[in-house]
Amino acid sequence: MSMTIKAFQALIESKYGKIDRERGSEKTFLWFMEEVGELATAIARDDHDNKVEEFGDVLGWLTTLANINGVDLTEAVEKYKEAEQGFK
């Protein structure tokens, strides 16, 4: 199954939007950082199955942060793509 960024962002919003906004940006960012740490561990251990899981978790929490902060990730990707060397 293939999914666009826009569709994934809408899925996260429909499933978790209300509770995500109640939690707020600061607490959500802490969850995001915890998942980044778990991804770092999976990478260090070179555990492919765990890397797949943790990349998914990081993407999910990043998407949640974007949603509760009113950021369209498709727009962010397009702007990044247009930048000569990415954002700095």
Q: What is the pLDDT of residues 15-29, one digit of tens each?
A: 999 999 999 999 999
Position 88 scores a pLDDT of 58
Q: What is the pLDDT of residues 28-47, one digit of tens each?
A: 999 999 999 999 999 999 99
Q: Could you say which DSSP state residue 67 is in?
A: H
Taking the C-alpha atoms of residue 28 and residue 3, their distance in angstroms, rounded to an integer, is 24
What predicted TM-score, i.e. pTM, was given to this entire model?
Answer: 0.88
| Complete domains list, the chain, with CATH | 19-68 (1.10.287.1080)
Q: What is the pLDDT of residues 41-85, one digit of tens each?
A: 999 999 999 999 999 999 999 999 999 999 999 999 999 888 866
Nearest to 39 by CA among 54, 24, 29, 26: 54
